[in-house]
Amino acid sequence: MARKRDRRVAPSSDHHETGVKTPTRPDQFSEAAASDRNLMTIFIVFFVVIPAEDGLVKTDVDYQEILDENSKTLKNESHRHYTYPVLAYITPWNSKGYEMAKRFTNKFTKLCPVWYDLKSQGTGLVLEGRHNADMGWISELRRNGNALVLPRVVLEAFPKELLKKKKLRDKAIDLIISECKEMEYDGHCA
């Protein structure tokens, strides 16, 4: 069994000559504590005090109020308050998502319905999901707003094979592009 060595470094004689003071342990801790206190003060001011003054925070909330208010939205359905792009995924198993996308079309820049799957079939590929596409919904979106419709394509094919074989990659690209053209989508989301 090996013995543990005592590793002590002898103080250097140059230390006193340079005039540089190295921080001692208490100084380091007090600086860190002061920094933490400053951060905590900033956090409390910006995330607790200011919202409370604006009436955004309510302290006496019961569970029934949360259940009653959880699905309410703002009355302003069309005006955007910022210019950043906003993307939303819409799933076929949640019909409420379709309704919310129609209602707030002007607030979104990109809508990505989850409709398509790119799957391996023998040695080739197949794009499934056209039966999920709702052209009436898309028409209504385009009539009411400017959001791009970019269906999401899930890759269920063997990724290793798809990356290795150029013909397979080209086939996948062709399938997706031809579907976008036929269905008049604005593009796709992977």
Give the span between the Cα atoms of 65 and 56, in whole angstroms: 15
Distance in angstroms (rounded) separating the CA atoms of residues 26 and 28: 5
Compute the distance between CA of residue 100 and CA of residue 111 in angstroms, rounded to an integer.
11
* Tens of pLDDT, residues 1-22: 555 555 555 555 555 555 555 5
- The position carrying tokens 């919904």 is 137
Give me the mean pLDDT over the 109-123 stretch.
88
Q: Are 148 and 111 contacting, i.e. CB atoms less than 8 angstroms apart?
A: yes
Q: Rounded to a whole number, what is the distance in angstroms from the first to the last CA of the chain?
A: 58
Query: Where does the pLDDT of residue 169 fall: very low under 50, low under 70, confident under 90, or very high at 90 and above?
Result: confident
Nearest to 106 by CA among 128, 80, 82: 80
Regarding predicted confidence, which is higher, 68 or 72? 68
Q: What span, in angstroms and rounded, lies between the C-alpha atoms of 184 and 130?
A: 12
Per DSSP bridges, beta strands 110-121 and 148-149 are parallel
> What fold is seen in the domain 82-183?
TIM Barrel (3.20.20)
Average pLDDT over residues 148-159: 86
pTM of the model: 0.60
The number of residues making up the chain comes to 190
Q: Where are the domains of the chain?
A: 27-57, 82-183
Which sign, positive or negative, has the C-alpha torsion 165, 167, 170, 174? negative
Residues near 94 by beta carbon (within 8 Å), at least 6 away in sequence:
none
- Span 30-39, pLDDT tens digits: 777 777 777 8
State which H helix or E strand residue 18 sits in.
Answer: helix 14-18
